[in-house]
Structure 1
């Protein structure tokens, strides 16, 4: 079904409004639309004279140019915050799609290796996939290591059993990535349909919140009326028997199709102390070498909203965006062949070489240096730590 509205319809309906109503609609849709210089100047001229407001006020009203600069700065703050709020889940989606594609290839390589090299049948693989989410690998790995150290199994049997455990680990990781992708898609969809709030518009505009409601209702009424007139003129409006469409929701449905703007952010401490440490951990995360517990905790750390009293609310999403941008770049560089994936899997499941326990030589009394005697002060400190009373100090 073709969409009811187009971006041209929205721009035409907004352009037909007066400057006051056009400014209001663009502020409501600030996440997608930019304000023009005329609209910013109108807001600066429309601000009430601060000398007539309560409280300590300056002796003279600020100039229009100064007010316009302040409005421009506030617009940039809110626009950047709203667009980063949408960019963060979008980056999560991109990274998770890359991770899922890599995980699918690793699973395929593990299945090929198990069936060809270790002669595991399809029923065993299906059973391992089915029980992967409830499997507990650590006790099984410990039993396997003990059997290997006591020469109870051969190297090939060890590799086969260890690869089956690794196969379940990869399947669990892929399932976590799928759940994360669903959550990121829901967050991305919800982040794109929220207009600017009334108190935020009042803060940008510099007008009392009480005077905003009537302006907002009037602007929305005129905008939706213009949209309806355009659709009726083009015979695109559905019949009344089918119910009238919600043109405000249709507006967001069209605007959410716009490409996400990429932010330029720098490293902010919080996830890791240094950028090098963060990149090192991101590389391990992308390659799948982090333990399962650390992997889940690290994903939460690089995707959550980092609210800090030092950076302020405007940088809530910047830490996560920086980490996700670097993670996406690392994942795009990982493109192993099936043979390389199989070699990496074999390297992971190959047992450590057995080493003979060397007995330490007995220490003879001749070459042994006597331990130095402690002074009375040192003995007193040690006795105080153990809770004993130092008789020499109580004399």
Structure 2
């Protein structure tokens, strides 16, 4: 981009070199500086580059319009550079910065062609392009903000759902501890009976603490009503129901892992499988088979869901959804201390892989 913009400035300079004047030199210098400011840079923030470009361009325009006009001005490179900066500032800069810096860049872009002694049609074209770019960038900014709000709402809802499920598990364990402690208090237990009761209380307490660790960074609204937690049995029922109306599902669950899987992790497995099957209906209408596998790995349990589809179903935009399902599942996996990834499979189709810890990976 820098090369193209500078070539435009150089081409304009060569075409107008027959009439070298001080105003023409000001135009060329301003064009070079503004073009360099439009080049993305990691070290120099966007707002700093935009401020410098606006200041240089407006100063040059004010000097030439108020004093001696340039004999002939095209300003192609400088105008494009200002439009690039205008679009970037309106879409990405903070609200107050965009509200101040955006109009300054738009004004600089509109005034640049007026440096000519006889401003022509290019002045109108520049003003129209400025309005169009500003309006389109504003629309994109609003869409980005709406998507961020929707994504935050999905993540909050997923954290709430997880908190409800873990509430049921913790309540179950704590209730068992209370019952056993009351029994030990009102019953004369000695020797082995007392030791066995205390051991059961210790086991229940450890399980409750393990579940509580997974509540870190998970928010819950007051008054939320708990509901039954889905598990691996529901996964089997879910896949069987899906296979009756869709492609066959091959479900492979490691037996030893099924017995050792904590209830909250089993609930996460169910939610991931349900979302994956829903996505198959939406985005892989031509899938002929779905493979779901749950196996132990060194860091916990790995859930892998793959299909061989590639053609999306013909659905309206409302039915397709906004692509937030995987974002919610990623939030759930990370809250449990695991990770989730989805993308094209090496052998074709689509693959989703989630790794969930079995020992309460999210610690306080």
Normalised TM-score (structure 2): 0.28
Query: TM-score, normalised to structure 1's length?
Result: 0.27
Instruction: Please state which structure has a larger fraction of its residues in strand.
Output: 2
Higher relative contact order, structure no. (Cα contacts within 8 Å, ≥ 6 residues apart): 1
